[in-house]
Chain A
Amino acid sequence: MHTEFLMGNAAIAMGAVAAGLNLISGYPGTPSTEVLETVAKRRPEDVYVEWSVNEKAALELAAGGAYSGARTMVTMKQVGLNVASDPLMSLAYVGVKGGMVIMVADDPGPISSQTEQDTRHFAAFSKLPCFDPTSVQEAYNMIQDAFAYSEKYGTPVLFRPTTRVCHGYASIFVKDPEEYLKNTPEGFIKDSSKWVIFPRLSYNNHIKIEERNEGLREEFSSYPGNSITGNSHSKKGIATHGISYTYVMDALDKHTDVKILKVATPFPFPERLAVEFLAGLDEVLCIEELDPIIERELTYICGKYGLHVKIRGKLSHDVKPAGENTCGCVAENLHLFLGTEIPKGVTRDEPPALPVRPPVLCAGCPHRASFFAVKEAMKVKKTAFCGDIGCYTLGNAMPLDMVDTCLCMGAGVNITQGIGKIEPDTTCFAFVGDSTFFAAAITGVVNAVYNQADMTLIVLDNSTTAMTGHQPHPGTGRTMMGEIVEKIDIEAVLHGIGVKTVETVDPLDLKSSVDCVKRVSAQKGVKAIIFRSPCAVLIKSAMPVKIDDSKCVQCKKCIRTLGCPGIVLENGKVKIENSLCTGCKLCTQVCPTGAITGGEGNE
């Protein structure tokens, strides 16, 4: 045992390794990404690691490994579980042999997600046990318990941290490599009565699952992660979970005249422990993030056991229904509930108006050039620009204003098709990144081709998964095991599924790009343009461009049309911010007087 300063996700990774992990797969997504990356960086030699093409593939792969007796883990963010929900629901009926943990990171806020969905619901829906850690240390310990429970009951289990646990750091106690468990997989043993899902098997297993979960409701009541602390004679109780538990404990500080229920296994809910907690209480405040799951369970238990305890929380409007909890809002909830005085804040003058710093496409980002080329080519036309999930969603910001819709991974392709069917006079474009193309767009393109859509598919190929921190994907020719493999060619894929016109162009060559968009979009049917230029963060910058003051007429067209962070105003005059400019030269092609030049050679 030694101490290490670890990010929550790294702690989850190292905990899994300590539990004898044999295989890990996943698809990148904030806030889950660093789990798999840490395993890749620090894995014992015989652990297999892969970024899969999407969450469904990742979960199925981990299931196959666990069928063969391996201890496996699959990682994703909450919306990723929607993609993987088909195998999840069936796997819950079939079960596994080796321990299998499905690590799904939830994102209250949401800070960088489409939804605030609560994976604890998925646990109840799929009937799978679920673990919800409160801290980095608990995450490290609990992931090991999760493997043990999974193997004991032959079922995959869900492990659901939230952003602040995933991305928090703490100095924690971790095992030395000699203390790691070693799991040697037995291999896949054929047994079609176990591994082939048929209605009869589903029915029989459904009965067993309900029995198991009833047992787990009891067993989890003794699980150390679930606990009752504080004053057992108090009339008031707090029920909480996850990072909110730590906010509650910090806020209560010296006011310990209250009983606290900490729920680490939201499903199956530790019923006996909850009854013990409720005994003698007049009212309970539930402090939860995302949905009121503990609140509903406690309300149900009160009804079932005839307990006269008032359960308060989100459903009673005592706690805000949406968004992330903070230390501040939890403290306020507690003070109101306990009738204690809210400590006075520090009073200071009203601050001056603060500059806003919204996320924008980086200086030199090739997506800016691609969006601008399409915008230039389509100037006077009636258009629909359907975006997708990735850095390029930021193309919606002014002055580009080139993303009209964004829904979920890969959705843009068929949304475009739908708009075109209803509005045939609209020129329709779907923008999709290279990683999203492989993850979720190919079947959409097949659908569009088959059903005679009229649209232009734009693949923004920067040869990486940029948004989540530059993970490799099938088009990059690299795997997480460090192998160099044959790249899957996007042009060939598109040709193979029936897209006749596929043109590839460098978006940083503005004229060629505009011409290409005009030429290709004028054709009928489904056609594609691949804008190929590497992510600006990954390549060595060229020299910054220069402005010739004698030629610059201060028309500010460069700023007004491109919105590049590398072009700034200083005392009302246009200036290149040398620390940011990558020398992409897009602005040199926009300047009407030719005042911007350079961007040659390496910095």
Chain B
Amino acid sequence: MNKNILLCGVGGQGIVLTSKLIATASMAKNIPVMSAETIGMAQKGGSVFSYLRMGENIYSPMFSQGTADLIIGFEPAEAVRMLPYLKSDGTVILNSHPIMPVTAALSGGSYNGEEMIDYLKANVKDICIFDADKACKKIGSPKVLNMLMLGAAVTRGCLPFTMEEIKTAVINTVNPKFFDLNSAALDEAQGLIK
């Protein structure tokens, strides 16, 4: 079964690694996989998105608007920005914690995640919202944000993998000294979503 997935958020949230983990899990099951992400002038604090495609007979690593099965939104406004990519019956997994753009202070502009979340609720039928930053604090590391998002997507049944298969991908991809922490975050996500 082919799947188009879009991961989006802000530089520094671990989006690229999440995309790699999904790819690793995919390869372990012999599912061909491709991805593409924004790099270059996108730095800390800039919008980051990663397109990921799994399955047979796929040519391009990118896909068109209206064709994503799943958006994993690490930040509310970034999920709204990429929402045109979602299929009409697609799923959104969303971290409710907003990140202020660096220019907001300068322009005196305000940005508040609430408005974005309300919009997403009104326009997406299948949406799962949780405060992943709060969960990070509970676990004690801001670095596990991506594991929480990935764990939520797996728990919700949006990815063709079991939690064990994701953990195997973590073992094979991420520095083993962080495995316990990452594994705890995946379990925490499972508890939060269920």
Contact = CB atoms under 8 A, between A and B. Distances in A.
Nearest to A347: B88
Contacts of B104: 355, 568-569
A348 B120 CA distance: 10
A125 B26 CA distance: 44
Given A168-B61, A349-B123, A359 B34 contact: no
A309 to B, nearest CB: 26
A346 interface: yes
A575 to B, nearest CB: 9
A135 interface: yes
Contacts of A136: 34, 61
A223 to B, nearest CB: 20
Interface in A101-143: 111-112, 135-136
Interface stretch (B108-116, B147-155, B186-194): B108-116
B77 interface: yes
B87 interface: yes
Interface string A242-256: 010111011100000
Interface stretch (A13-21, A213-221, A264-272, A559-567): A559-567
Given A171-B27, A569-B104, A346 B62 contact: no
Contacts of A349: 119, 122-123
B77 A345 contact: no
Contacts of A135: 59
A112 B123 CA distance: 34
A554 interface: no
Interface residues of A, number: 52
B41 A359 contact: yes
B26 A359 contact: no
A171 B101 contact: no
Given A328-B64, A346-B87, A569-B108, A356 B101 contact: yes
A170 B34 contact: yes
Given A351-B83, A360-B45, A398-B106, A169 B61 contact: yes
Contact of A250 (B19, B60, B116): B60
B103 A164 contact: no
A465 to B, nearest CB: 14
Contacts of B101: 355-357
B144 to A, nearest CB: 15
A73 B20 CA distance: 28
A389 B59 CA distance: 35
A399 B105 CA distance: 12
A5 B105 contact: no
Most chain A CB inside 10 Å of its own CB: which residue of B40, B41, B84, B86: B40
B168 interface: no
B91 to A, nearest CB: 14
Given A346-B66, A355-B101, A357-B103, A243 B40 contact: no
Nearest to B37: A167
A352 B45 contact: no
B80 interface: yes
A568 B36 CA distance: 32
B1 interface: no
A154 B120 CA distance: 60
Nearest to A567: B105
Nearest to A468: B40
Interface string B15-38: 000011001101100001111110
A328 B116 CA distance: 25
Contact of B100 (A112, A250, A343, A568): A568
A602 interface: no
Contacts of B65: 328, 345-346
A567 B10 CA distance: 18
Contact of B119 (A351, A359, A559, A563): A351
Contacts of B161: none
A31 B37 CA distance: 12
A206 to B, nearest CB: 39
A563 B47 CA distance: 18
Contacts of A31: 39-40
A157 interface: no
Interface string A344-388: 011011011011111110100000000000000000000000000
Contacts of B23: 5, 169, 171
B132 to A, nearest CB: 15
A352 B106 CA distance: 20
Nearest to A359: B41
Interface string A166-192: 011111000000000000000000000
Given A5-B23, A30-B39, A111-B41, 18 more contacts: A163-B40, A167-B37, A168-B61, A169-B19, A169-B36, A170-B61, A171-B27, A171-B34, A247-B59, A251-B64, A349-B122, A355-B111, A356-B103, A357-B10, A357-B101, A362-B43, A568-B104, A580-B45
Interface of B: 10, 19-20, 23-24, 26-27, 32-37, 39-47, 58-66, 77, 80-81, 83-84, 86-88, 100-106, 108-109, 111, 115-116, 119, 122-123, 142
Interface of A: 3, 5, 30-31, 111-112, 135-136, 163-164, 167-171, 243, 245-247, 249-251, 326-328, 331, 343, 345-346, 348-349, 351-352, 354-360, 362, 398-399, 559-560, 563, 565, 567-569, 579-580
> What 5 A-B pairs come out closest when comparing CB atoms?
A246-B60, A565-B102, A246-B59, A112-B40, A249-B59
10 contacts: A169-B20, A171-B33, A326-B64, A327-B63, A348-B84, A349-B119, A349-B122, A362-B44, A559-B106, A568-B102
